[in-house]
Structures are given as C-alpha cells and as structure tokens.
Structure 1
Amino acid sequence: MATDQEGKDDRIARISSAIRVIPDFPKPGIMFQDITTLLLDPKAFKDTIDLFVERYKGKDISVVAGIEARGFIFGPPIALAIGAKFVPMRKPKKLPGEVISEEYSLEYGTDKMEMHVGAVQAGERALVIDDLIATGGTLCAAIRLLERVGVHVVECACVIELADLKGRERLGDKQLFVLVSSL
C-alpha cells in the first residue's frame, strides 16, 4: 500500500477524485454523489473493493448484506473475497418467496426494506454495505432487520458519508467505516 507524506493511503484520494458530484440532482440544493464514474475507473473501483476486503478479511463475517441498489455493486465482490455469503436487502415486492420487512422513515413518508426468510441464521456475523450514508435511515432499517432474526451486525460500511446529515449518530453503538467523507 502506497501512502502520501501525511501517511494517508493514496487509494483514498484516487477513489475520491473518481466520484463525480452533480449539483441540483435530483432536485435543487442536492449535491448528488455519483459513483458511476468510480465504476468506470477500474483502478479506483478495485481500490474501493480492496480497502473493504483488507478491513473485513479474517473478522469472522459470514454475511455481507447489501442495500438496494448500489450496495449490490460493492457487496458481492467483498463477500466473495472474504468467504461470506451475499444477502440482498431489497425494496418491497422485489424478492420472490417469503420475506420479512422493516419500515423506515424518509424525509417525506416511509419506505420498507425486505430480506428473504432463511437467508441468515441467528448467531451469524454481518457487515451491512451501501454506497452512501446520508441520514442513516436505510442502514438503521437494515440493522433492525438483521438483528430481529438474531444476527450480530459487526459494522456498517459505505464508500461515501455525507457527514453534515449526521447519519452516523443514528446508528447508535454500531460502527461505521467510510472511505470518503463529503460535507
């Protein structure tokens, strides 16, 4: 791993510079963090996966729970690399078969997250992954869903944190690991 003069991993700067910020999308006042440009840069994308794998390899994690939809991009390669299964956490009516669900609050209204019944077992250790944490609502719903069936959530991980929205505070005692913090 290469580091700069301050001892920081130079992969973080590469990842950060590969993320495009689009002002006023999807509505005025929003500074949208677009990871599609990160995905177009094979080195930065690999660096992203590698940093997560380095953190979680050997931590006895058996489940990587990815939040729809961008958690589906990062979760599977991490799960494969650390020898864990990947469990999709989806919006309502997207999973066939029996599901359990968790409702959560949005800025205007509520939404639900669902997971297949039997996808995880009590006592398993999970990592919850998404591309971004803003207010923390979706991560909290994923944690509650997993904990309801007896899974221990080891940590949450996101590529980007919008720190000024204070989503980290909503996670309570759950650890959050992020690569890039944006204000």
Structure 2
Amino acid sequence: LLHAQCLQCLRSSHMDLCHVPTTQEKGWYLALMAPNIKGPNYAWLDPSRLYCHPQGLQDCVADLLQPFQGDPIDMVAGIDAMGFILGAAIAATLRKGFLAIRKAGHLCVQTLVQPYTDYSGREKVMEVRTDAISPGELPSWLGRGRCRGGHWALSYSLCPLPGLRTLLVDQWVETGGTMRAAIQLVEQLGGVSHPCVPTGVATICIEDSEGGRWIQERYKCCHCVP
C-alpha cells in the first residue's frame, strides 16, 4: 500500500524521529508506522511513532485536511480511543471544538448510545453525552429604529443556527462498522430541528471492505494510505 520511498524505509525499525527526508513525497511519514512483526492477524500498521514525529504528524494532518479546504466545518469528532489523537490535532489546526465519542461505560452523565460491530466481529456500544452540543442562537440584525433621546432603538430577531457540520476522524477504518456507528450517533445530536451534519471522514487508511466502500460512496473522505 505504501509508495516506493516508504517501502525502502520500512527496513529500519529504528528510524530517527528527528529526521525529515530531504525530498518529502506525499505520504513520506507513512514509513514511520513500520514494522508489523505479528503477522496478518494485525490488519493495520501502528501509527504511534508517526504521532511522535513532529513534522510527520503535522504533514499527516495537513494531507488529511487538504480535500476539505474551503468546506464549512464547525466541529471535529474523534472516536475512542486512537481517533482522539488525530481528531484533537485536526481540531486544533482548524481552531474548532472537539467532540469525544466514547466507548460505553465511561461517562457519568446521561448519554446517547449506538450499538455496533467492530472490526473483530465483537458487539460493542459507543456513547456521547446528550448535552455535549446545545443548539445555539445568533442575533440577526434586521435594521435600526429611529434615534430616540440620543439612543438608537435596534430591532433584531434570534435565528437558530443550522446543524453543526462535523468532520469525523478515526485512526483506521477496517470493516467500517465503528465509523458508521459514529456517523449515526453524531446525527442524533442536536435534535430534529438542529441536527449535527456529518460532512466528511478523515482517517489514515480506509480498507477496501464493504463497509469502507459504503462510507466512501456517501461521504467525502480523505485517507493517507493510497
């Protein structure tokens, strides 16, 4: 899956985390994930070392955001647990808020829940607190009244905000079950009149699976592994 430059780097399991290639081809940082010494039971490479590399992490985030430049994004949602790392980095880069989608059983407040089947075939539940997002209102100035006693009488109405446009982030999408459940959970937030609107998916890799294809057919997606 990785391009030729990365494949050459995969031979080294002790890559210098301060080293940046002189020629930085797109996705150069993917080599930082190697190696996989545990065989085909692990369908992914571990990005932990990529996150430790300052330039690698910055370039990864920049590549994931490139297709969304100019798109309105109000919030970033990350999936427990490794999706928190990329999601928080993306939210900080965009200067947006971050919604944590948690594994069930960790929140001491009222929650919305969504069952799903993960990549290993296990039945699980994810949750998010019900009051994580409160539909807001913004003043919409309709005009100025007459000047009375030296003061302007301003007239305005309160117009509800549209649904929050949300970019969903996870580390890896294998079968798509986890991401699909996160999309369904986000859509429940904010109620019927002010729902959250999933506008895209960003992840290091989307596997060529039925669930992965379902997501890519319905949402704007960006992934680093070609």
Q: TM-score, normalised by structure 1?
A: 0.82
Question: Deviation string for 1:8-54 (max 9, x for gaps)?
Answer: x94533122112241436xx633431001212222111101222344
Long gaps (5+) in structure 2: 1-22, 136-161, 190-194
SS in 2 for 1:102: strand
User: Is 1:66 aligned with 2:78?
Assistant: yes
Residue aligning to 1:133 = 173
Verify the 8 A CA contact 1:11 1:44 in the aligned structure 2: no
Residue 87 of structure 1: which of 71, 88, 99 is its match?
99
Letter in 1 for 2:175: T
Give the whole-Å Cα distance in 2 for the aligned partners of 1:55 and 1:114: 28
Question: Deviation string for 1:75-96 (max 9, x for gaps)?
Answer: 1121122132100001011223
Question: Deviation string for 1:121-155 (max 9, x for gaps)?
Answer: 47110000001110001100000001123211000
Give the whole-Å Cα distance in 2 for the aligned partners of 1:21 and 1:77: 24
Verify the 8 A CA contact 2:67 2:222 in the aligned structure 1: no
User: Is 1:148 aligned with 2:162?
Assistant: no
SS in 2 for 1:90: strand
Residue aligning to 2:31 = 17
The alignment covers a number of residue pairs equal to 170
Which structure has the larger Rg? 2
Give the whole-Å Cα distance in 2 for the aligned partners of 1:160 and 1:65: 17
Residue 167 of structure 1: which of 200, 206, 211 is its match?
211
Q: TM-score, normalised by structure 2?
A: 0.67
Letter in 1 for 2:46: D
Give the whole-Å Cα distance in 2 for the aligned partners of 1:167 and 1:37: 27
Residue 76 of structure 1: which of 85, 88, 93 is its match?
88
Residue aligning to 1:180 = 225
4+ runs of 1 displaced by more than 6 Å? none
Long gaps (5+) in structure 1: 1-8
Give the whole-Å Cα distance in 2 for the aligned partners of 1:54 and 1:175: 12
